[in-house]
Structures are given as C-alpha cells and as structure tokens.
C-alpha cells in the first residue's frame, strides 16, 4: 500500500508539474480556460507542445466550473468542490488520483455497488456501497482508486475541494 501511495503522489506531482511548467503562446495568462465571466469555458486540450500553464486565478475559478481543468486522450485533470455527498461511481477504464486541497469528507471504496445503472459507456452510478473501506479525507490527503473500483463521497460535513487526476486506459 505504501508503494502505491508513493506512486500516486509522484503521478499527481508530475501531472501538476506539467500544468505549471510554462504558458502556451495561444493562452494569455489568466485565460487558459478560455471565455470571460458568464461564458461557457471549453475544456482546454493539451497543445502539441505537451505543456500548459494555468495561473492561480484560473485555478481558483476552475473550482466553480463543472468542466475538466485539462483533458488529453489518456489524462484528465479536474478541480472540484463538493458541498454534499455524491453518488457512487465505477469507471471501467478510468483510475482516479484525488488530492485534497481543503475541507474533509468520508470516502468509501471497494465493496459492492448498490442500485447501479449505466450512465454512459464505461461508467456506472449507484446509490450506495455494501462493505468496502472507509477513509476520512482531509487537506493534504491523496487517495488512488483504480479502474473498476466503486468509490463514493459518502459524507461531506461542510465542503471539500480537491484535484482529481484521471488516468484513462484505452
């Protein structure tokens, strides 16, 4: 387990380092997500250079957008803020690395999905998990959920803000 945690941390640090390395010429500082206030912000795609930069304001603004922070064929980075519990998720081809920026939550993984239904190809949602492992997530924590493992933000007492890096298998 410790080896998996170290690999997860290195993966997250590497993904975030790619995002901070430099600003592409086509995206002026503070506008990497495109659009202005009140406009739809498309998900930025990784340019041919393989490098994207997002200033602090853009990162903070991303918390209030439902779109991915950056997307590539095999990688997605999102910053999310939850103020309540969510549904159970199972991704057939997506592994998730969560890094908690602020807040706390009760997070359940594994076990058996209850009330599962397909919401899109390779994605199931459900109402609960039977069994499984429970974690108390707080600021600074990292948790890795491999593809095929049910996971759930079961309780969110106030709010939780986190990055999720999705590694997508073909």
Q: Rounded to whole angstroms, what are the CA distances from 91 to 17, 36, 63, 69?
A: 25, 32, 22, 19
The region that residue 130 occupies, defined by phi over 0 for left and psi between -120 and 50 for alpha, beta otherwise, is: beta
Percent of the chain at pLDDT exceeding 70: 68
Question: Is the pLDDT score of 17 beyond 80?
Answer: no
Q: Could you state, in order of their start, the residue ranges of all structural domains in the chain?
A: 2-168
Predicted confidence at residue 64, as pLDDT, reads 67
Ranking 7-11, 102-106, 138-142 by mean pLDDT, the lowest is 7-11
> In CATH terms, is domain 2-168 a member of 2.40.110.10?
no
Predicted confidence at residue 66, as pLDDT, reads 59
Q: What is the mean pLDDT of the chain?
A: 77
Predicted confidence at residue 75, as pLDDT, reads 85
User: What are the b/e assignments for 91-117, b being 16+ CB within 10 Å?
Assistant: beebbbbbbbeebbbbbbbebebeeee
pTM of the model: 0.70
Q: For residue range 34-54, list pLDDT tens digits in order.
A: 333 333 455 666 677 777 777
């Amino acid at each position: 387990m410790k080896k998996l945690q170290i690999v997860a941390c290195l993966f997250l640090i590497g993904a975030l380092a790619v995002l901070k390395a430099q600003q592409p010429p086509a995206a002026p500082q503070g506008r990497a997500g495109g659009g202005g206030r009140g406009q739809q912000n498309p998900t930025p795609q990784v340019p041919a250079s393989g490098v994207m930069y997002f200033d602090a304001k853009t990162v903070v603004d991303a918390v209030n957008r439902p779109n991915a922070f950056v997307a590539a064929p095999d990688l997605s980075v999102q910053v999310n803020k939850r103020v309540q519990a969510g549904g159970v998720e199972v991704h057939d081809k997506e592994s998730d690395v969560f890094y908690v920026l602020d807040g706390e939550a009760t997070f359940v993984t594994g076990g058996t999905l209850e009330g599962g239904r397909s919401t899109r190809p390779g994605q199931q949602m459900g109402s609960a998990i039977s069994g499984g492992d429970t974690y108390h997530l707080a600021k600074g924590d990292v948790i890795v959920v491999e593809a095929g493992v049910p996971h759930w933000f079961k309780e969110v007492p106030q709010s939780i803000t986190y990055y999720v890096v999705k590694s997508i298998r073909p």
